[in-house]
Structure 1
């Protein structure tokens, strides 16, 4: 379990493509400082398990086919920047919201509107998860806990498989301390909706 408060920006330093999986080596001195085999680390919103710690500043993870298919991790290559967060401790403050690190799908950055104090970023999202996103609700974008500041529909639809979009307002801290400050129009981002919404829907279906 995570909170969506990114601790540092890491870098992919090696990739190994396998038949139906991948092994990544990621440099992140802060999150690696107390990491051990079996620990969970959020890598741009994807919960991955530490396989090996290398030289005290890097760690390796194995990524299975399901994760490669559902998230943008499969597109990462050597040199790519990623958001890193260690699993939350029970005695720590919950600065963001409850994040599982289970990506529901990917969205696409369709616009960025800068201002003096923040950037408004619009993201197209798949129809399969649009119903879980509400204005002023929480959403995780590439592992960053954010508040939905706006919702809307494309007229006509401008993104394949997406009818809806949402907006988030990024403050200077988020822009400088996460990869969202670097995400250009057209970038693919990992999305995780609030798990409570999915549980409520499931309970109503079982009604």
Structure 2
């Protein structure tokens, strides 16, 4: 379990095929300024994906074994030496919870649809089909204005929700988009400033919202009209 508050930005130092796991990956990361010294078996969120420390090949190097399912659901398969990643170690019972409860179980990927930079950084992201076993129809009801979302491991607040196609500054965007605002501290302390239109972003919906939706669905009640509840504040179109 994590909070979504990034503690350091690490740098990928190596990626190699994982033997004997077909299509797996051994990911080695330099944790940079991270002063946490994890033991073998400890959990670290790497850009939002919960991974286990498998080895310390060097004093300041963490090695993780990434299985094919994680590579299929996340953007970790796109990493190469020199890539930057957000890092957070698992919370404890006494950890200050300044973000929200994050499992590190990435639901899939969303894509950056539009960027507004300058004094008011805003990013619009498109939820199409994040992954085969997490279809958009199941996750969209969890996208709620002023609700929480985890993007590349970072806890953020949803600023607006758009069910239907719409325009931003003359740019046509598809339906099933949502936006987040990024403050200067977030841009400075995370990898989010590197996002560009088309970037693939690890996405985890709020675990509490997913739990509620599963309960409602298992009771046989409709959920399709719950996504982007305008009554909770924010813009919903």
Report the TM-score when normalising by structure 1. Answer: 0.92
CA distance in 2 between counterparts of 1:32 and 1:115 reads 32
Deviations 1:43-78 (A, max 9, x none): 000000000123332100000111010111111111
- Counterpart residue number, 1:100: 103
Aligned with residue 173 of structure 1, among 160, 164, 185: 185
Q: Secondary structure of the residue that 1:131 maps to in structure 2?
A: helix
* Residue 196 (str. 1) matches residue 208 (str. 2): yes
CA distance in 2 between counterparts of 1:111 and 1:133 reads 18
Q: Secondary structure of the residue that 2:56 maps to in structure 1?
A: strand
CA distance in 2 between counterparts of 1:32 and 1:73 reads 23
CA distance in 2 between counterparts of 1:48 and 1:23 reads 11
- Counterpart residue number, 1:4: 4
| Pair member with larger Rg | 2
* Residue 149 (str. 1) matches residue 159 (str. 2): yes
CA distance in 2 between counterparts of 1:29 and 1:179 reads 13
CA distance in 1 between counterparts of 2:33 and 2:94 reads 19
- Counterpart residue number, 2:38: 35
RMSD: 1.8
Q: Give the 5 Å matches for 1:119-138.
A: 119-126=121-128, 127-128=136-137, 129-138=139-148
Is the Cα contact below 8 Å between 2:16 and 2:25 reproduced in 1?
Answer: yes
Q: Secondary structure of the residue that 2:95 maps to in structure 1?
A: coil
Q: Give the 5 Å matches for 1:13-162.
A: 13-18=13-18, 19-31=22-34, 33-116=36-119, 118-126=120-128, 127-128=136-137, 129-153=139-163, 155=165
Is the Cα contact below 8 Å between 2:141 and 2:213 reproduced in 1?
Answer: no
- Counterpart residue number, 2:223: none
Report the TM-score when normalising by structure 2. Answer: 0.81
Is the Cα contact below 8 Å between 2:9 and 2:33 reproduced in 1?
Answer: no
Deviates more, 1:14-23 or 1:130-139: 14-23
Deviations 1:125-164 (A, max 9, x none): 13242221100000000000000001114538x88xx741
Q: Secondary structure of the residue that 1:54 maps to in structure 2?
A: coil
Structure 1 unaligned blocks of 5 or more = none
CA distance in 2 between counterparts of 1:77 and 1:29 reads 16
Is the Cα contact below 8 Å between 2:163 and 2:175 reproduced in 1?
Answer: yes
